[in-house]
Amino acid sequence: MQLRARLQQAEPLRNVFMTLPVPALAERIGVMGVESITLDMQHGSVEDAHLLGMLQAIRSGGAIPLARLAWNRPELIMKALDYGVEGIICPMVDSAEEAAAFVRAAKYPPLGNRSFGPFRADLHHKGDYFADANDGTLCFVMIETAGAVEELEAIAATPGLDGLFIGPWDLSVSLGLKERANFADPNLSAVLDRVVAVGKQHGLFTGVFTIRPSDMPGLIGRGFDLITCGTEDVIFQRGLGDWMGEW
């Protein structure tokens, strides 16, 4: 369980989302120096049946594994954790009640009601997995709706919650902004700064998603702890375009 210790460092953790269930590619991404990989089970093609092979490949490549869930459902949460995901990101959370339900499914008693059976997660863990898991496996809720922005303080106060993760595309749509994920938009920019401030106030890590490397300096400057820059699909498209341009 390396994620919490890494996020506590001054330099933000740089992350890539994976949308395709290709273990060899996940391994290569880690070997090439990407520190953490998030399996996208919401919009990507990664399903439960792919978790074991993908997590084995991510670990082999030296990266820290996270997963974005398809939805806020206990069986999805517990399955991902039992396979050995260190961080889980829950989409479309609009209220403190939904955040609390997420945490309950992800944490062992007394914080939650996660069922005990971490057969894969415990395989390489040194120590008592049950004693370490609540602190070592991190729960992020996505702030990506106008409702979540309105309830931000209440969501952040959820006992057992570890982080807030901004989904700027859905957030832009929900807020009715003209452009999607334009961090220069003062309305979106204000939300980013507020999430970072509220996160610090409640002792939570903060994360954000972009597909533009040019956004990185500004996001680092804002104080995010976890910054996702792209998916393997976007990176492949850009690399292939550059490659073909040299033909």
Would you please indicate which residues are annotated as catalytic (active-site) residues? 43
Calculate the CA 125 to chain-centre distance: 21
* Whole-Å CA distances, 46 to 16, 146, 180, 215: 14, 28, 25, 27
Burial class (CB in 10 A: 0-12, 13-18, 19+), 146: middle
* Beta carbons of 71 and 100 less than 8 angstroms apart: no
Dihedral sign (CA 76, 140, 162, 211): positive
Quote the DSSP letter at residue 74.
H
The rounded distance, in Å, linking the Cα atoms of 38 and 180 is 22
Q: What are phi and psi of 166, to 5 degrees?
A: -85, 130
